[in-house]
Structures are given as C-alpha cells and as structure tokens.
Amino acid sequence: MLRKLLIGTMLGSALTAGYAASTYAAGGSVEVLHWWTSGGEAAALDVLKKKLESQGVTWKDMPVAGGGGEAAMTALRARVTAGDPPTAVQALGFDITDWAKQGVVGDLGEVADKEGWDKVVPAALQNFAKHDGKWIAAPVNVHSTNWVWISKKALDAAGGKAPENWDELIAVLDKMKANGITPLAHGGQAWQDATIFDAVVLSLGTDFYKASMIDNDPAALGGEKMVEAFDRMAKLKGYVDKDFSGRDWNLASAMVIEGKAGMQMMGDWAKGEFLKAGQKPGSDFVCIRFPGTQGAVTFNSDMFMMFKVGDDKKAAQLTMASDIESPEFQSSFNVVKGSVPARTDVPDTAFDDCGKKGIKDLAEANSSGKLFGSMAHGYAVPAAVKNAMYDVITRHFNGELDSKAAAAALAEAVAAAKG
C-alpha cells in the first residue's frame, strides 16, 4: 500500500518534473499586466509570483490601476498595437472575447487538457476562458455580486431575521429607518448602481435576468417587468442617505461596519473590508444572497488572459497558467481576496462561513443552470452595451428618468449600442 502510494507519488512527481524539465524549466519570464495594486489583492498575487519564482520563472510586474481595469485596458491597446503584448493580462468577461476575436491571444490547450480544466471549471466561466474551443485564459476566482452585507447589530434591532424576499427586505429596511440609521449604505457610482440593479433584476426571476441582461430581448428590456425592476430601484433609493453620490464602495462598507448604516448590497470583495476591520462573519455581520435570489448566482471572474508570445516565453506562460489553476493557489488566493475558487473541486476548509456559503452556492447554481454572468461587471454583455445600460440605470437612480421612461430608454440604448 505504502509502496504503491510511494511509486504513485514518485511517478507523479517524475512526470511533473519531467514536464518541467522538458518544457518549463527553461526559466524564462512572464510579464503580467494587472490592476491588483492595493494591499490585500496584491499580496495575494505575490503568492503566485513566489511560486513561479520557485520554478525558475521570473515575474515582471506591470501594474496599471484605475477605472476598474480601464487604464490597464488602455495600456494593453498600446502594447498590442506596438507588437509587444505582455505575457498575461488580467481581464474580465467580454473584454477577453473581444481580444480573442483580434487573433492575438495564446493557446493554453496543452496544459488545460493535461490538467483537465474542462471538468473542474464551471461551464459559465468556460464561455469566456475559451474561444473557439481553445483555452485562452486562466480563471483566478469567482466573485459573486448578488450579496447583501448586513450589520448584525442593526439586523437584531430590526427583528433579527434576515430577509428572504422583497417584502421582507423592505420591512427590514423600514425598521432600520425607524431605528434612526441609514438603512442602505450605497455609493452612487454607475457600476455600484448597476451592481444593485443586477440583483434586483435577478430577484424578479432567473428567466427574466437571462432574457433581459444576457439575451437582450427587447421585449424584456422595455417591458412591464423592467418597469417593476426600476420601481424597485427607486424604492431602494429611498433608503440611501442623501450623500450617497460619488461615494467609494469601501466607504459605504465602512458605514455598515461602524453601525451608521444597516446593510450594503455589493459583491463579495466587500467582505475584505469587514474582515480588515476585525469583524467576524455571523457575529458582527451577516452575509445573505440578495432576497429572492438564493439559488442563483451572478458572477464576475478575474481571469488572466494569455497573449501570443514567442517560443522562448511559451513555457513560462504555461507554467503560470498551470500554477493559477492549482488547487493550492486557488484556495490561498481566494481566502485573501474574498472570492471563491474558479474550480469546483477545491476544498472549502480554509474559508470562513461566508466563503463556504459562496462555494456551496456557486456549485449549486452551476449544477442547476442558474449561474449567470453579471451585467454590471462585464460578464453578460460587451462593454458598449454594458455601459449603455449603466447610463440609463444611473440616470434613473439619480432621478433623471422615471421607471417607465427608464425601461424604454434601456431598450433603446441597448439597441443603439449593439448597432
């Protein structure tokens, strides 16, 4: 038995070593363009860097932060136009597809086939990480965006029961308002408005979400149900404080942490703020799915898109892709980042309660076909359409349009952006 195990291990490591020796150990370097530049996420990425260095691959760091990746995408255009693309680029959703269509991306098939990514990465992610059946990007994580982060204290004061549907949510928000705090902490930036909108649409039914946000069916975009979605947005607007406009999302989290506000509707990166402030899931704050969306997940996955590189860099690129998909890295990175692993076979032992719930929800949504790309984060529609939606959502949220006009404008803007 032991002997068998030993041989197995030896064989395995010999294989790995052989592989490393033949194609990877040439050393080489990877140049990585990304926008993870702040404390936690950069430190998490450093784990990957160290791992690569231990394999003899040099990490050349090219961080360009700003605009949720917009500055990095601007720099990337210059790099590709100059004929000098980086090895790997952090990218999201349809941006990956758009780049793939330009014919400039690499092929990870060699390592993906060998490691069986097809079997462990959720299909919804593969739609983006693969193009024409070829692996072109290595997914790092899965963020889900239909979360609500509630202050435990505020919730207890409002009855103590986490809301499970729209009416209960409104009841809790009303109680919180009566208790004299800001019920909903929110930052009035287009992407934050859209993040809530994602969840609101999803709460009106997964079919409706798919028809409107992903398939862009004009009838769904401009229909009665969309008017209702905008009405819900207007209702929620009634619970934010008057200074919400322009606020950074983390300052909104701080309001919940300090007890000035009751809850925040935000993706799971918000958890990092709570943890950093010394709060414990369950006892200090509660994480729930947006009421009425339990069982479904809108996701946003950070991926490293790989570009075509010369043969001298190919080995290093494949090593990097392999390391990203390794279960150890998936676990250690995502524990820090607040997200969940991009493969479904990673044990959840290292994660806190919210992380465990996230992993479970993801697996469940994946198997029931209720795992959808997040519109707000570029996984439902291409950038042009996404931003056209942003415009309408944020104008409505700021009172420039009423719900009926907003639904009509949404259908119109999407049609125009699709050109």
Partner 1 sequence: MADTTMTARSAAANPRATLQDLLPKIVLAPSFAVILIFVYGFIAFTAVLSFSGSKLLPDFSTWVGFGNYVRLFNHPNWIVALKNLAIFSILYIVVCSVIGLALAIFLDQKIRGEGVLRPIYLYPMALSFIVTGVAWKWFLDPGIGLEHVMQSIGWESFSFRWIKDGKMAIYTIVIAAVWQSSGFVMAMFLAGLRGVDNEIIKAAQIDGASTLTIYRRIIIPLMRPVFLSAFVVLAHLAIKSYDLVVAMTDGGPGTATWTPALFMQKFTFGRNEMGMGAASAIVMMMMIFTIIVPYLYSELGGKKK
Partner 2 sequence: MSAPSQDVATRNGVFVRALIYALLIVFAVYYLLPLYVMVVNSLKPLDEIRQGNMLALPQQWTIAPWLSAWSTAQIGVSPTGLKPYFLNSVLMVVPAVAISTVLGALNGYVLTKWRFKGDNIVFGMMLLACFIPFQIVLIPSARILGLLGLAGSVPGLILIHAIYGLGFTTLFFRNYYEAFPTELVRAAQIDGASFFQIFRRILLPSSGPIIVVTVIWQFTNIWNDFLFGSSFSSVDSIPITVALNNLVNSSTGVKEYNVHFAGAILAALPTLIVYIVSGRYFVRGLMAGAVKG
Binding site residues, partner 2, CB under 8 A: 31, 34-43, 45-46, 49, 59-69, 71, 74-75, 77-79, 81-84, 248, 250, 254, 258, 267, 269, 272-273, 276
Distance (Å, whole) CA 260 – CA 217: 40
Binding part of the chain for partner 1, among 22-30, 154-162, 352-360, 395-403 by CB under 8 A, reads 395-403
The pairing of strands 137-139 and 141-144 is unpaired
DSSP code for 103 = T
Q: Which of 61, 98, 231, 284 binds partner 1 (CB under 8 A)?
A: 98
Would you tell me how many other CB atoms lie within 10 Å of the CB of residue 290? 23
- Coil/strand/helix, residue 315: helix
With CB under 5 to 8 Å by kind, the binding choice for 82 among partner 2, partner 1, none is: partner 2
Residue whose CB is less far from partner 1, 189 or 319: 189
Residue whose CB is less far from partner 1, 62 or 405: 405
Please report, in angstroms and rounded to a whole number, the separation of the first and last CA atoms in the chain: 65
User: Least distance to partner 2 from the beta carbon of 140, Å?
Assistant: 13
243: number of CA atoms within 13 Å, CB side? 8
User: Least distance to partner 1 from the beta carbon of 222, Å?
Assistant: 17
Q: Which of 215, 276, 416, 418 binds partner 1 (CB under 8 A)?
A: 416
Binding part of the chain for partner 1, among 145-153, 182-190, 218-226, 300-308 by CB under 8 A, reads 182-190
Distance (Å, whole) CA 193 – CA 294: 20
Binding part of the chain for partner 1, among 9-17, 71-79, 201-209, 310-318 by CB under 8 A, reads 71-79
Residue 374 near partner 1 by CB under 8 A: no
Residue position matching structure tokens 């390794």: 326
Contact present, 381 and 410 (Cβ < 8 Å): no
155 beta partners: none
Distance (Å, whole) CA 354 – CA 117: 26
Residue whose CB is less far from partner 1, 67 or 295: 67
Give the containing element (helix H, strand E) for 260.
Answer: none
Backbone dihedral angles phi then psi of residue 188, each to the nearest 5 degrees: -80, 75
Residue 234 near partner 1 by CB under 8 A: no
Binding site for partner 1 (CB under 8 A): 67, 70, 73-74, 77, 80-81, 95, 98-99, 101-102, 188-190, 241-246, 382-384, 386-387, 391, 394-395, 397-400, 416-417, 419
